[in-house]
Copies of this chain bind each other. A is one copy, B any other.
Amino acid sequence: MRKKSQNKACTIIDIAEALEVSAATVSRALNDHNDISLATKKRVRKMADQMGYQPNRIAAGLRQMKSNTIGIVVPMFTAIFHSSMITVIQNRLYEYGYHVLLCQSNDSYNLEKELVNTLYSFRVDAIVSAITLFTEDYSHFQPFVDRDIPVIFYDRVPTQDFPAHFVISDDFRGGYLAGQHLADVGVENPAFICGLMSSNLYQKRDAGFRKALNQSGITLKENQVYYQELTLENALETCRKLFDVPHPPDGIFTANDTTAIAVLKFAIERGINVPSDLKLIGYSNDPRSAIVEPAITTIDQNIPKMADKVVEKILTLLGVEDLIEIRPGLDQRELVDVSLVRRMST
């Protein structure tokens, strides 16, 4: 059981001793300070390499009161929307030397609260979050606000005022485009499976959808509108209710693609032809919506752009880059445009 000998990590002090200089000099050399001679820099770096030195970021972070880490809390990694967002954000931040501490709340308000507290404990330099469907109190983000640590919400954001930054998809327009499109393809008796109205997302999609139908003179029967968690199971149950009637709908807008896929499956089983008997449009442009048969028309949320906006905000707020204008007084909203992706289901 030997090998413990070199068990401890090498520190700048070890390097300093080996080179008979001070730790301060080593630190400065390693950080490429101007006021260190090139010669010493070279000597130090060489020795550091040789001794397998790896800086201790924890210690540096403690001293500098920053961690070079950004915290992210999202409901679900497995949702392609979030994993794509995270991917872009992580990669862009990495270019600037930032790392990402990633957490998922499982759409549980309590877990989200705990995670946000923990990220605060880790003294992240900024926090990014898509909140759960059930978060209606935002006080767990208050410590960040109090200490001027940037808080950036994206996608699912507080429905009430909160002094933070927001990157939101234009959900109203998404709903509107969906309604307009259903009207364009001749739907006369639409149904709507929407998410829970506690979320800004579904409030807006709902409003946009209704406005478009209204403008086209199409009536949306309230008994053909459902507000529910957008899971597969819920979708199938709702389908039964929608189609076990004399005059079922001839078009459906679902507020996410998981639900659209479920509806499609249901239709196929029932022998309802999509698109001739039923036009179907989903939301989010989940890759799955493209591989089913027929492929489903959907609303694309421009994830790369949303992620870019998040990163821009972070970098600007941290003073790393001056990418966008940040006005004084917070609650700053960035609206990202959406687009219709037409496929075979309509």
Q: Mark A81-94, 1 if CB is under 8 A from B, else 0.
A: 00110110011001
**Cα distance A56–B123 in the bound complex, in angstroms:** 7
* A58 on interface, CB distance cutoff 8 Å: yes
A56-115 residues at the B interface, CB under 8 angstroms:
56-59, 61-62, 67, 69, 76-78, 80, 83-84, 86-87, 90-91, 94, 99-104, 106, 111
User: Is A118 in contact with chain B by the CB < 8 A criterion?
Assistant: yes
Report whether B62 and A261 are in contact in the complex, using a CB–CB cutoff of 8 Å.
no
Total interface residues on A, CB under 8 Å, equals 53
Chain B residue nearest in CB terms to A72: B102
Q: Which residues of B contact A288 (CB under 8 A)?
A: 287-288, 291
Residue of A83, A123, A148 ringed by the most chain B CB atoms within 10 A: A83
Please name all residues of chain B whose beta carbon is closer than 8 Å to the beta carbon of A268 when the two chains form the complex: 293
Q: Is A120 an interface residue (CB 8 A)?
A: yes
Determine the distance from Cα of A83 to Cα of B84 in the docked complex, in whole angstroms. Answer: 11
Instruction: Report the minimal beta-carbon distance from A11 to chain B, rounded to whole angstroms.
Output: 12
Complex: A77 Cα to B82 Cα, angstroms: 10
* Cβ of A185 under 8 Å from chain B: no
A304 within 8 Å of B (CB atoms): no
Contacts of A147 on B, CB cut-off 8 Å?
7-9
Q: Mark A139-159, 1 if CB is under 8 A from B, else 0.
A: 000010011100000000000
A155 CB to nearest chain B CB (Å): 16
Instruction: Contact check, B292 vs A54: say whether CB atoms are below 8 A apart.
Output: no
Interface centre among A111, A146, A268 (most CB of B within 10 A): A146
Q: Complex: how many Å from CA A76 to CA B54?
A: 26
Say whether B90 contacts A99, CB under 8 Å. no
Residues of chain B contacted by A186 (CB below 8 angstroms): none
Complexed CA–CA distance, A106 and B118 (Å) = 27
Query: Are B77 and A99 neighbours in the complex by a CB distance under 8 Å?
Result: no
**Nearest opposing residue in chain B for A84, CB measure:** B78
- A261: B residues at CB distance < 8 A: 291
> What residues on B are CB-neighbors of A59 within 8 Å?
62
**B57 with A121: CB separation less than 8 A:** yes
In the docked arrangement, what's the CA distance between A329 and B255, Å?
54
CB interface residues, A 249-297, toward B, < 8 Å: 261, 265, 268, 287-288, 291-293
Pull 6 A–B residue pairs with CB atoms less than 8 Å apart, ordered by A: A9-B143, A9-B147, A58-B62, A83-B83, A99-B101, A287-B288
The 5 lowest CB-CB distance pairs between A and B, nearest first, are: A102-B102, A57-B121, A77-B83, A293-B293, A78-B83
Known: A58-B67, A99-B122. 10 other contacts (CB 8 A): A4-B148, A54-B117, A54-B120, A54-B121, A55-B121, A58-B61, A90-B103, A101-B101, A288-B291, A291-B291
